[in-house]
């Protein structure tokens, strides 16, 4: 009885301004989903619990883990191998975000085992990328690079430009973090060859932006300008406006260093978020 009386008080504290309206709407959506779960068929329950997991995914990790566990439990009850693998991956991300890296790895590897049985190759590649990130966060860089390369090889074989782009950003970030920028550059250069054969403008935009930033850090500003211009062109071609704006900001800085103030001023006027 006491707990039920205190719940509205806790809810008010958690939803204090400025997040009040968001929390109110989120609580309403959660209540609606819980109502649906109560009458849902066995095969649908895990998907509804996954929607609940997503409601808490960014702001309340403990609640997200609670519903993630229910997603997993009901996926097993329904013998839904697709959602079992997906739910294990989701739990891996949640535990990673909470800093519980051992638990995170357990779920990623369980997901891979199921995906291997069912031939979910894109999912396997994505989990290799996830595992690489966990090892990066633990400072086990050799293991991180090993798993990132497994992901790169799989995504390349699958001709999955989006997946490949994600891993490239992660491995380049790792190399830059440990002061091995030249290795990051080589990863991007290798990927550039791939994207010439299999164009993917958004991914190429990130690739060129990465090269531009690396060359800028190495004080090779002419090359930095060239690649950042290419990044901006790619982002503009796919109307990725936020990414375009970031590339233009970086390019304007490089233009100023290259003593092209007029071009930099002109570019700054065009930037829109």
Please state, for a pLDDT cut of 70, what percent of the chain lies above it. Answer: 90
Average pLDDT over residues 207-235: 94
pLDDT averaged over the chain?
87
Q: How far apart are CA 206 and CA 90, in angstroms?
A: 25
All structural domains of the chain, each given as residue ranges with its CATH number in brackets, are 18-119 (1.25.40.10), 200-273 (1.25.40.10)
Give me the pLDDT at residue 111, please.
Answer: 97
Average pLDDT over residues 207-221: 93
pLDDT of 69 strictly over 70 = yes
* 11-to-1, 17, 24, 61, 207 alpha-carbon distances in Å: 16, 12, 9, 16, 44
Burial 255-269, CB ≥16 within 10 A → b, else e: beeeeeeeebeebee
Q: How far apart are CA 93 and CA 114, in angstroms?
A: 17
Give me the pLDDT at residue 33, please.
Answer: 80
Q: How far apart are CA 155 and CA 148, in angstroms?
A: 10
Confidence band of 141 (pLDDT split at 50, 70, 90): very high
pLDDT, one tens digit per residue, over 2-11 is 333 333 333 3
Q: Which of 249, 253, 238 is nearest to 205 (CA)?
A: 238
Give me the pLDDT at residue 25, please.
Answer: 58
Q: How far apart are CA 205 and CA 3, in angstroms?
A: 53
pLDDT of 24 strictly over 70 = no
pLDDT, one tens digit per residue, over 90-120 is 999 999 999 999 999 999 999 999 999 999 9
Q: Which of 233, 238, 153 is nearest to 191 (CA)?
A: 153
pTM for the whole structure: 0.80
Q: Which residues lie closer than 8 Å to 100 by C-beta, 6 or more apart?
A: none
pLDDT of 19 strictly over 60 = no
């Amino acid at each position: 009885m006491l707990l039920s009386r205190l719940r509205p008080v806790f809810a008010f504290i958690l939803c204090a301004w400025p997040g009040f309206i968001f929390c109110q709407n989120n609580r309403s959506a959660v209540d609606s989903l819980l109502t649906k779960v109560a009458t849902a068929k066995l095969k649908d329950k895990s998907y509804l619990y996954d929607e609940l997991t997503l409601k808490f995914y960014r702001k309340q990790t403990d609640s997200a883990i609670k519903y993630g566990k229910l997603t997993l439990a009901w996926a097993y009850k329904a013998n839904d191998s697709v959602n079992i693998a997906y739910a294990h991956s989701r739990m891996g991300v949640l535990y990673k975000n909470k800093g519980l890296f051992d638990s995170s790895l357990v779920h990623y590897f369980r997901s891979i085992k199921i995906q291997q049985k069912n031939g979910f190759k894109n999912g396997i590649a994505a989990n290799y990328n996830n595992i690489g990130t966990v090892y990066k966060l633990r400072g086990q860089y050799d293991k991180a690079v090993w798993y990132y390369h497994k992901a790169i090889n799989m995504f390349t074989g699958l001709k999955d430009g989006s997946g490949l782009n994600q891993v490239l950003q992660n491995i380049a970030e790792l190399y830059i973090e440990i002061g091995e920028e030249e290795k990051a550059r080589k990863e991007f250069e290798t990927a550039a060859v791939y994207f010439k054969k299999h164009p993917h403008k958004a991914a190429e935009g990130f690739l060129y932006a990465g090269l531009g930033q690396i060359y800028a850090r190495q004080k090779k500003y002419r090359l930095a300008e060239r690649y950042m211009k290419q990044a901006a062109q790619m982002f503009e071609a796919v109307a990725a406006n936020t990414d375009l704006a970031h590339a233009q900001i970086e390019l304007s800085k490089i233009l100023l260093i290259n003593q092209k103030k007029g071009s930099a001023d002109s570019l700054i006027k065009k930037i829109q978020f």
